[in-house]
């Protein structure tokens, strides 16, 4: 890991009308690192994630991305086209609901092909090979690559979404409750797959979840959010084994109870 963070948020505040969804957030993600963001529903996790990915513009504060060449990009000061280019080439974003991140009427292969095409690939053979490769990487049978995504189960759709977000080999992957709507057994398998893939690909990850088991398995570092603010952050084991803030203690205690 290099010293300069890949992504750094400083004093970020996001508002929706009178609601302050996140308040005065400082957070950094380093290359190859998995950062978990936990907190109860409505804590502002998704808003922070969307703000880190440049999708939501903060009311104040900055988010800076440092590219592979060491160049800094102040996300919310970029032109729309420059931001989109970065998002295409350097990031992936996996949504909680597959229909937000996929084109359900297209085949699995086409869904994986699209980001490559949008990065300028113009050879069908290359696209086909890459789509097959990445569907295999997420442990989907390539026999189904020409089937429409809407005929797939929820867990399989999330795998297609993962493949679609990995095909451009991003440096940074945003995951918003990627196992949210799935059965428990399916969740466990998907989490395990994510763990293997990100380790192998050395991609940095920001993982939003309210599932402490998921961050225990995946995250190096942890941010605990409550009512739009960060109440505690640190190494995952540290935070979960010895929570300092009363709210973190409550979260950990409630996990143990169930």
Ligand X SMILES: Nc1ncnc2c1ncn2[C@@H]1O[C@H](COP(=O)(O)OP(=O)(O)O)[C@@H](O)[C@H]1O
Residue 107 lies near ligand X (rule: CB under 6 A): no
In this structure, what DSSP letter does residue 242 have? S
Distance CA 90, CA 53 (A): 11
Q: Please count the residues of this chain forming the interface with other proteins, following the rule CB under 8 A.
A: 26
Beta-bridge partners for 226: 229
**Is residue 63 classed as helix, strand or coil in its secondary structure?**
strand
Distance CA 167, CA 189 (A): 21
Q: Please count the residues of this chain forming the interface with ligand X, following the rule CB under 6 A.
A: 11
Binding mask 45-84 for ligand X (x = CB under 6 A): xxx-------------------------------------
Residue 21 lies near ligand X (rule: CB under 6 A): yes
Which of residues 41 and 81 has its CB atom nearest to ligand X in the complex? 41
Answer for the pair 62, 10: CB distance below 8 angstroms, yes or no.
yes
CA-to-CA separations, 137 to 103, 106, 155, 198, in angstroms, rounded: 20, 20, 15, 11
Beta-bridge partners for 20: 15
Region 92-131 residues binding other proteins, contact defined as CB under 8 A: 103, 106-107, 109-110, 113-125, 127-128
Residue 57 lies near other proteins (rule: CB under 8 A): no
Q: Judged by CB under 6 A, which of 41, 81, 122, 185 binds ligand X? A: 41
Question: What's phi and psi for 128, nearest 5 deg?
Answer: -60, -45
CA-to-CA separations, 206 to 108, 121, 173, in angstroms, rounded: 25, 27, 6
Residue 42 lies near ligand X (rule: CB under 6 A): yes
Q: List the single partner that 16 binds among other proteins, ligand X, Mg ion, none, CB under 5 to 8 Å by kind.
A: ligand X
The CB-of-182 to ligand X minimum distance in angstroms stands at 17
Distance CA 242, CA 237 (A): 8
Beta-bridge partners for 222: 36, 234
- Nearest C-alpha neighbor of 73 from the set 199, 239, 84: 84
Residue 150 lies near other proteins (rule: CB under 8 A): no
Residue nearest to Mg ion (CB): 46
Distance CA 76, CA 97 (A): 25
Residue 87 lies near ligand X (rule: CB under 6 A): no
Which of residues 127 and 212 has its CB atom nearest to other proteins in the complex? 127
Residue 46 lies near Mg ion (rule: CB under 5 A): yes
Q: List the single partner that 214 binds among other proteins, Mg ion, ligand X, none, CB under 5 to 8 Å by kind.
A: none
Distance CA 65, CA 28 (A): 10
Residue 179 lies near ligand X (rule: CB under 6 A): no
Which of residues 149 and 251 has its CB atom nearest to other proteins in the complex? 149
Residues that bind other proteins (CB under 8 A): 80-81, 84-85, 103, 106-107, 109-110, 113-125, 127-128, 145-146
- Binding residues for Mg ion (CB under 5 A): 46
């Amino acid at each position: 890991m290099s010293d300069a963070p890949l992504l750094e948020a400083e004093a970020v505040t996001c508002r929706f009308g009178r609601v302050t969804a996140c308040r005065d957030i400082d957070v950094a993600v380093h290359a190859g690192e998995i950062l978990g963001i936990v907190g109860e529903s409505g804590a502002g996790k998704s808003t922070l994630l969307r703000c880190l990915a440049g999708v939501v513009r903060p009311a104040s504060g900055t988010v800076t991305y440092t590219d592979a060449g060491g160049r800094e990009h102040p996300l919310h000061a970029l032109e729309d086209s420059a931001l989109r280019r970065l998002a295409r080439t350097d990031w992936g974003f996996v949504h909680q609901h597959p229909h937000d991140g996929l084109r359900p009427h297209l085949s699995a292969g086409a869904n994986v092909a699209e980001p490559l095409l949008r990065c300028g690939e113009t050879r069908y053979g290359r696209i086909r090979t890459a789509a097959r490769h990445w569907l295999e990487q997420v442990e989907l049978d390539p026999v189904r690559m020409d089937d429409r995504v809407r005929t797939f189960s929820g867990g399989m759709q999330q795998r297609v979404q993962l493949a679609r977000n990995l095909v451009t080999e991003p440096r940074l992957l945003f995951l918003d409750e990627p196992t949210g709507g799935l059965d428990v057994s399916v969740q466990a398998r998907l989490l395990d797959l994510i763990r293997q893939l990100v380790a192998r690909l050395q991609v940095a990850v920001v993982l939003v979840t309210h599932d402490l088991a998921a961050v225990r398995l995946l995250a190096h570092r942890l941010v605990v959010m409550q009512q739009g603010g960060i109440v505690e952050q640190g190494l995952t084991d540290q935070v979960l084994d010895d929570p300092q803030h009363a709210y973190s203690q409550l979260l950990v205690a409630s996990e143990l109870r169930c």
